[in-house]
Chains A and B, each alone.
Chain A
Amino acid sequence: MRGYAGKCLEIDLSGGDFKEIRFPDGVLRDYIGGRGLAAKVLWDRFGGRWEEVDPMGQENLLTVLTGPLTGYYPGARLSISGKSPQCNGIVGSTIGSEVCIELKTAGYDGLFVSGRAEKPVYLWVTDEGAEIRDASNVWGKGAIEFLKHINRVGREDLEKKHPRKREWKEPQSVYIGPAGERLSRIAAVTGKYTHASGYGGYGAVMGSKNLKAVVVKGTGPLPEVADPPRVYELMQEICDLCFVNDMRRRWGTGYLGHDVGFRLSSEPIRNWQEEWHDERSFGVDKFEERVWVKRYWAEFGCPTSCLKVATPRAGKYVGSISDNPDYELQAYLGTNLGIFHPEDNVHLSALVDDLGLCGIQTGNVLGFAGELYQRGILTEEDLGFELNWGDTDAFARLIEMIVHRRGVGDILAEGTHLASLKLGEMKGVDLSEYAITAKGIGLGAHGIRSGEDYTGNISYCCSVQGGDHTSISCLPIDHGNSELTTALHDSGVYCMFNTYPPGTRDRLWEFFTAVRGWEMDRERWYATDARRIIDIQRAALLIGGPDLGWKPRLDDKNPERFYDPLPTGPWAGKAPKIEAVNAEVREYYDQMGWDENGIPTSNELRRLGLGTVDKKLNEIR
């Protein structure tokens, strides 16, 4: 099987041991890499006693993986997974980072990290292998300070030890901030100041292992592919198709800040109490004119450069550095908090990025807190200050409290789902209607009520990644937006945005074939390979544990609020009908080969060769 470096490295931080892992061709063929391979390895290792494995315990396995298409398909990404502290299932998260390129050029397809170091450490990986290095002096530091340090000492080390003379490029890193160190379940694995692998809460997993960062420098070529001329042609064809995708190139996802709020009416506003706004102050033109200092910013090989670099040039937030912010953070650290000014949005994004929080989960829990304050459930006494919609500095204070786990911040650091349970108990009220989550994970910033967005009735109901807006359940299951499709991108590990321009998806299957040298076809993927990955994730979610669990069928639901009619905008009065949602859920179960409770059937699992999953699921059938 081509496209792979051929080996992975497992590092046990407790014992300081390293072990090379080589996967048989059959495993790589079926599970590809990234999200798929992570699901396979996690289930093989823990499936029999899934409920006992503590995501923040020593034994949890953090997976840092590339895929065969990483570096070849335009727009490289890195996959991060493990048992998730947010849902107790498996979330295949990804981050835009050149760590994936460094890993493959150092000769590794990925890393598996288990155990727990006695003191803070980081992993240093080069062509010569891996080392566990002391990170005491950067523990507690934010992204900017960390990268400043690691890029300097990393380059000095390479200069000193490497036999081949050169000006050394910086090693590439993914790291955690204080939020992950303090085991916040909404902590992300972060990189490049502004990039994050947020869904799943793997920042906390790294923190629980005392692992500050993974720092990699490779000097070799990318692994060989099966049909080089065709792969290089396909790369050019994909780039050519993306080059004409001018809207996304020029404005990134930033254009959605006004578009989703105004036209589609599906943007979270003040904790989803509304989904429509006509604030001209939040159009992408304002971001472009006021805060963007670099208009095209990209990951390795990317023709689209949907990212932009932003920093306020005037006002009190000068010195904050963020990307666009992209649509998700425009929404969650903007409209969802009643904030409609680019500089304020950049400031909050920069804050969560530097401290290592997931912008989506943080915006979700801040909105939740904001609504509790609005309704007098959380008070000034609880918080120590007023928390009015649109008050950027107040929300910034609350972010600091979450990161440092001070006061009510300690509860909010657990994420919206658990915070709603704990605060509800403290206050003696049911707060679930204010928690906009699915299976423990705060929803992405695309609502379903207007029916105009790409998200639909059951997007979040049956997703094996809960609220993840990039991995949604939809009908038919082989739809381009379906999580069976996302699982392909996240297992080949490249950016799904470069599969949006017309013509790109037609080339995907051939791309896989040309890289791997094994005939890949659409039918097989949706009928078999994707199902294996999704069914393993589904089983892990339904088994759950140790502290979160999801009931079959009953928890395949939308947040309660999504059944309240939209109060404002062109689709005011609109909301999904619960009967229609339930019918679609049942249809989804059917198409997936799941029973009436959403549990994959024995027949289906046996067909897929997932006997251990079948056996384990007997416990809840």
Chain B
Amino acid sequence: MRFMSKIEKPFWIMRDYVKCSGCRRCEIACSLHHEGRIWPEASRVRVFMLVPGVEVPHLCAQCGDHPCVESCPVDALSVDPEMKNIIVDREKCTACGNCVEACPGRIPHIHPTEDYALICDLCGGDPECVKVCHEGRWDCLYIAKRETTYQYRLYAKRPEEVTKELAVMIYGEKGKEVI
């Protein structure tokens, strides 16, 4: 994909929530890539729809300070030196859930049937979710060169918090009453 090959690594998956159609093709692509099945709850990106019309794709914010890594009692999480994504060591991980609580956005989640945490690994540098989002011309998820900024951390938010804000942006005053 031409537009992606031009972006230097490491990159960041940007998100533009209001462009999310709620089609969940990102969940399909992610779970097919990682699990070989269509498995929305095992997808590293999950689309929340706490309010219809206000869909929120929830995936690792790739923050720079990595509270999840720090929280791990068994050193199962590490940062990839090139891509800066989080790597989960499935052998070491005990599915304790500390990383879920440590993340301000509660973004990591435990695999529905296996004992390890799921965190976006950028598909090793070629993220499937971004590809399907782009081919549909939604571009809610797209990649951008990673800059030195604190900004990424701001995206580590719980879906409820994002939804409350987006609902007002989308529905105006009424948005305050819907969640």
CB-CB < 8 A to A294: which residues of B?
A: 18, 21, 53, 170
Which residue of A72, A192, A235, A301 contacts B52 across the interface (Cβ within 8 Å)?
A192
A171-223 contacts to B, CB under 8 A, are 192-194, 218-222
Q: How far is the CA of A318 from the CA of B175 in the complex (A)?
A: 11
B38 beta carbon closer than 8 Å to chain A: yes
B50 beta carbon closer than 8 Å to chain A: yes
Q: Mark A282-315, 1 if CB is under 8 A from B, else 0.
A: 0000000000011011111111010001010100
Give chain A nearest CB distance to B146 CB in angstroms: 25
B76-107 contacts to A, CB under 8 A, are 95, 97, 100-101, 105-107
A79-110 contacts to B, CB under 8 A, are 98, 101, 105
Contact B49 A303 (CB under 8 A): no
Stretch from A159-167, A361-369, A441-449 that touches the partner = A159-167
Q: Which residue of B lies closest to A242 (CB)?
A: B136
Give chain A nearest CB distance to B97 CB in angstroms: 3
A34-79 contacts to B, CB under 8 A, are 71-72
Contact B23 A166 (CB under 8 A): no
Which residue of A166, A239, A243, A311 contacts B109 across the interface (Cβ within 8 Å)?
A166
Contact A144 B177 (CB under 8 A): yes
A570 beta carbon closer than 8 Å to chain B: no
Contact A296 B138 (CB under 8 A): yes
B39 beta carbon closer than 8 Å to chain A: yes
Give chain A nearest CB distance to B90 CB in angstroms: 15
Give chain A nearest CB distance to B124 CB in angstroms: 20
Interface residues on A, range: 35 or more
Q: How far is the CA of A514 from the CA of B113 in the complex (A)?
A: 27
Quick one: given A293-B171, A299-B23, are A166 and B100 in contact (CB under 8 Å)? yes
Quick one: given A71-B38, A164-B112, A294-B18, are A169 and B53 in contact (CB under 8 Å)? no
B14 beta carbon closer than 8 Å to chain A: no
A125 beta carbon closer than 8 Å to chain B: no
Contact A221 B58 (CB under 8 A): no
CB-CB < 8 A to B46: which residues of A?
A: 169
Q: Mark B6-26, 1 if CB is under 8 A from A, else 0.
A: 000000000000110111110
Contact B178 A232 (CB under 8 A): no
A316 beta carbon closer than 8 Å to chain B: no
Of A101, A164, A220, A297, most buried by chain B (CB within 10 Å of CB) is A164
Which residue of A164, A170, A220, A232 contacts B32 across the interface (Cβ within 8 Å)?
A232
Q: How far is the CA of A432 from the CA of B31 in the complex (A)?
A: 55
Binding site secondary structure of chain A? loop
Q: Mark B58-78, 1 if CB is under 8 A from A, else 0.
A: 100000000000000000000
Q: Which residue of B lies closest to A218 (CB)?
A: B41
Q: How far is the CA of A151 from the CA of B163 in the complex (A)?
A: 13
CB-CB < 8 A to A165: which residues of B?
A: 95, 97, 100-101, 109-110
Count residues of B near A (Cβ-Cβ below 8 Å). Answer: 53
Which residue of B41, B135, B173 contacts A243 across the interface (Cβ within 8 Å)?
B135
Q: How many A-B residue pairs have CB under 8 A?
A: 131
Contact A321 B40 (CB under 8 A): no
B120 beta carbon closer than 8 Å to chain A: no
Quick one: given A294-B170, A298-B23, A311-B171, are A164 and B95 in contact (CB under 8 Å)? yes
CB-CB < 8 A to B178: which residues of A?
A: 144, 148
Q: How far is the CA of A610 from the CA of B106 in the complex (A)?
A: 55
B37 beta carbon closer than 8 Å to chain A: yes
Which residue of B21, B39, B179 contacts A297 across the interface (Cβ within 8 Å)?
B21
Contact B23 A305 (CB under 8 A): yes
B155 beta carbon closer than 8 Å to chain A: no
B35 beta carbon closer than 8 Å to chain A: yes
B116-140 contacts to A, CB under 8 A, are 135-138
B42 beta carbon closer than 8 Å to chain A: yes
CB-CB < 8 A to B31: which residues of A?
A: 221
Which residue of B19, B106, B136 contacts A167 across the interface (Cβ within 8 Å)?
B106
27 A-B pairs in the complex with CB atoms less than 8 angstroms apart: A72-B38, A98-B24, A148-B178, A151-B51, A164-B109, A165-B97, A165-B110, A169-B46, A169-B48, A192-B52, A193-B53, A194-B52, A220-B39, A221-B35, A221-B37, A221-B38, A222-B39, A224-B37, A294-B53, A296-B19, A298-B21, A303-B23, A305-B21, A305-B136, A319-B172, A321-B53, A321-B171
Contacts A151-B50, A293-B53, A298-B21 known; list 10 others, CB within 8 Å: A151-B51, A151-B179, A164-B110, A165-B100, A170-B49, A220-B39, A221-B35, A222-B37, A301-B28, A311-B174
Write the residues of chain B forming the contact surface with A, with a CB cutoff of 8 angstroms: 18-19, 21-25, 28, 31-32, 35-42, 46-53, 58, 95, 97, 100-101, 105-107, 109-113, 135-138, 158-159, 170-174, 177-179
Write the residues of chain A forming the contact surface with B, with a CB cutoff of 8 angstroms: 71-72, 98, 101, 105, 144, 147-148, 151, 164-167, 169-170, 192-194, 218-222, 224, 228, 232, 235, 239, 243, 293-294, 296-303, 305, 309, 311, 313, 318-319, 321
Closest 10 CB pairs of A and B: A165-B97, A166-B109, A221-B39, A319-B174, A298-B23, A221-B37, A167-B106, A192-B52, A296-B21, A309-B53
